[in-house]
Amino acid sequence: MKRRVLNIACIGAGYVGGPTMAVIADRCPDISVTVVDLNEARIAAWNSDALPIYEPGLAEIVKRTRGRNLRFITQAEGAAAIAQADAVFISVNTPTKTQGEGAGKASDLSYVESCARYIADHATGHTLVIEKSTMPVRAADTIKRILANGKGGATFHVLSNPEFLAEGTAIRDLEKPDRVLIGGEDPDSIEALAEVYRHWVPEKAILRTGLWSAELSKLAANAFLAQRVSSINAISALCEATEADVDEVASVLGSDSRIGPKFLKSSVGFGGSCFKKDLLSLIYLCEFYQLAGPAAYWQGVLDINEWQKHRIAELAAAHARRNGGIVAILGLAFKKDTNDFRESPAIDVCNQLLAAGLQLRLHDERVEAQAFSACLTRGTKSVRFCGSIDEAVEGADAILVLTEWDRYAKLDWSALFAIAAHGASVFDGRAVIDRVAARAAGFKVYSVGKG
Ligand code: UDX
Ligand code: UDX
């Protein structure tokens, strides 16, 4: 039976659910979209002028769609929206399990399971239930089992429609996706969801697969992307030892059409809510299916990332320890153009510097100081959050760049040299600063992957 999706509900108003639903509402004026979240403060923020997440272009879209065909409500008010929905997206977080079987590796599906129960209790008629969050392979089995035991008389089809947006470019990625992936078992349900995306995505970019391939493709895509960063970071250390330049090497690699130029920027390490969690989930799946070789292979990608963060932190720590012990950290977000610092390399680097007894002065363009301080394991006595770059750098013995914010690429190094401590060095963990200007100003400069 052919069906049309006219009412959408989405559970989870986070970095994925919020922007994705805003773009669907923007591009599909004939569809009514309701975003539901347990967190009342987050919903209040979505309904205010100070949105809970920073993403270029997002505020403008929310402004023109909110109150038209997009609304944000709390889960307590959400039952009617689920009852009305033809399609419910599950966009809640799937963190790494901290206890029970698979602790430390497997994804925790308890939020997904509670969403499935909530949908089972409130849905009416025939409802598509769509996995938007990244899930382990065969998570749809769990959702189907819960839906089948629901009290209401609704019927369901489960689809996997993983989101490939990257933070910082979420709106661009959603508006012009490389591809939209829909995995499922029922062709009519797949087409009903494809019809939503056809409002703005070309048909050839809408890929259809089986459920399990869709679930696994998302995990594998993140693992491949993380693997590229670890590969170039492994080369960065060799560049430093051999006086090669990692950006030159990357540009040669990237000009081979089989390799391609993207995702070859050497860094202090990858962060973000997905790569580590999804690699751990993949490793757990490999182990579960007794595939020790593949598990060790993907573990290697994570190990290089830890090693890279550690070695760059140690370079800055060693210099600061020999001098006055003050380190300015420029950048806390896991990448530029987001206020997100989940799994940011800055967390591990800061904790390592604090463990070495150093004093930290932290600056970021968007990350809230209060929220970040909760990630620091040694309390905040040795830490000062600074409202300006000058305040962070004043008196610092080492300046450590951890996020590639555009502003850090354009710093006035002469002015900073005048206020930094005597003999201060710069450690650029993103290879973004103007090294020539920093050296000309008088700084000693280390830059990742630059021999
Ligand atoms: C991220 C990843 O991007 C995604 O692919 C992964 O699978 C999960 O984590 P994200 O949108 O960034 O998703 O997560 P987050 O910003 O934490 O948002 C999740 C939202 O779901 C939160 O606002 C939380 O309050 C809400 N939630 C969680 C519910 O509404 N109900 C629940 O039962 C659990
Ligand atoms: C990633 C995937 O790109 C996206 O498709 C998926 O939906 C969610 O996970 P995200 O984590 O938001 O997106 O950002 P991404 O741009 O992938 O960057 C991840 C991390 O890798 C960042 O810390 C970034 O700085 C780092 N990175 C990325 C590098 O160090 N070098 C690169 O060349 C690219």
- Give the Å distance between the CA of 213 and the centre of ligand 1: 23
Note whether 245 and 451 are within 8 A (CB): yes
Domain 7-209: which topology? Rossmann fold (3.40.50)
Q: Which two tokens stand for residue 324?
A: 């006055």
- Give the Å distance between the CA of 271 and the centre of ligand 2: 7
Indicate which ligand has the atom closest to the C-alpha of 304.
2
The Cα–Cα gap between 413 and 227 comes to 34
Beta strands in 339-422 (DSSP E): 359-363, 383-385, 398-401
Q: Burial, 318: exposed, middle or buried (Cβ in 10 Å; 0-12, 13-18, 19+)?
A: exposed
If one residue of 10, 93, 169 were mutated to test the ligand 1 pocket, choosing by the most ligand atoms within 8 A of its CB, it would be 93
Q: Is 94 close to ligand 2, i.e. is its CB under 6 Å away?
A: no
**Could you confirm whether 274 is annotated as catalytic?**
yes
Dump pLDDT digits (tens) for 123-145. Answer: 999 999 999 999 999 999 999 99
Give the pLDDT band of residue 73 (cuts 50, 70, 90). very high
Amino acid at 237: A
Which residues, other chains included, contact 386 with Cβ-Cβ below 8 Å and sequence gap of 6+?
A: 328, 361, 362, 363, 392
* Superfamily for the 276-447 domain: NAD(P)-binding Rossmann-like Domain (3.40.50.720)
Name which residue sits closest to atom 1 of ligand 2, judged by CA. 166
Mean pLDDT along residues 271-295? 97
**Measured torsion, CA atoms of residues 391, 392, 393, 394, in degrees rounded to the nearest 10:** 40
Q: Which residue has the tokens 């007794």?
A: 290
DSSP, collapsed to helix, strand or coil, labels residue 198 as coil
Mean pLDDT along residues 281-307? 98
CA nearest neighbour of 428 among 251, 301, 304, 265: 265
pLDDT of residue 160: 98
pLDDT of residue 152: 78
Q: Is 437 close to ligand 2, i.e. is its CB under 6 Å away?
A: no
Q: Is 301 close to ligand 2, i.e. is its CB under 6 Å away?
A: no
Dump pLDDT digits (tens) for 329-362. Answer: 999 999 999 999 999 999 999 999 999 999 999 9
DSSP class of residue 202 equals -
Please say if the pLDDT value at position 3 is more than 90: no
Closest ligand 2 atom to residue 404 Cα is 25
Name which residue sits closest to atom 17 of ligand 2, judged by CA. 166
Please say if the pLDDT value at position 1 is more than 60: no
Mean pLDDT along residues 401-418? 98
Q: How many residues does the chain have?
A: 451
The Cα–Cα gap between 225 and 210 comes to 22
Indicate which ligand has the atom closest to the C-alpha of 264.
2
- Around Cβ 89, how many Cβ atoms within 10 Å? 30
Element (H, E) at 305: helix 292-322
Higher pLDDT, 381 or 261: 261
pLDDT of residue 86: 98
Give the pLDDT band of residue 369 (cuts 50, 70, 90). confident
The Cα–Cα gap between 398 and 152 comes to 62
The Cα–Cα gap between 213 and 210 comes to 5
The Cα–Cα gap between 163 and 174 comes to 9
pLDDT of residue 2: 54
If one residue of 94, 132, 161, 267 were mutated to test the ligand 2 pocket, choosing by the most ligand atoms within 8 A of its CB, it would be 267
Please say if the pLDDT value at position 103 is more than 70: yes
Please say if the pLDDT value at position 378 is more than 80: no
The Cα–Cα gap between 55 and 81 comes to 26
Q: Where are the domains of the chain?
A: 7-209, 276-447
Note whether 43 and 18 are within 8 A (CB): no
The Cα–Cα gap between 378 and 67 comes to 45
What's the whole-number average pLDDT of the chain? 96
Q: Is 16 close to ligand 1, i.e. is its CB under 6 Å away?
A: yes
Please say if the pLDDT value at position 175 is more than 60: yes
DSSP, collapsed to helix, strand or coil, labels residue 165 as coil
- Give the Å distance between the CA of 22 and the centre of ligand 2: 22
If one residue of 165, 174, 176, 270 were mutated to test the ligand 2 pocket, choosing by the most ligand atoms within 8 A of its CB, it would be 270
Mean pLDDT along residues 87-98? 96
Closest ligand 2 atom to residue 263 Cα is 33
Indicate which ligand has the atom closest to the C-alpha of 250.
2
Indicate which ligand has the atom closest to the C-alpha of 17.
1
Amino acid at 108: D
Same fold, 7-209 and 276-447: yes
Note whether 20 and 64 are within 8 A (CB): no
- Give the Å distance between the CA of 270 and the centre of ligand 2: 7
Name which residue sits closest to atom 27 of ligand 2, judged by CA. 270
pLDDT of residue 111: 97
Note whether 240 and 450 are within 8 A (CB): yes
Note whether 369 and 299 are within 8 A (CB): no
Which residues, other chains included, contact 170 with Cβ-Cβ below 8 Å and sequence gap of 6+?
A: 15, 19, 55, 58
List the catalytic residue out of 10, 28, 115, 274.
Answer: 274
Closest ligand 1 atom to residue 132 Cα is 5
pLDDT of residue 386: 96
% pLDDT > 70, the chain: 99
pLDDT of residue 381: 85
Phi, psi of 119 (to 5 degrees): -65, -45
Q: Is 73 close to ligand 1, i.e. is its CB under 6 Å away?
A: no
pLDDT of residue 426: 98
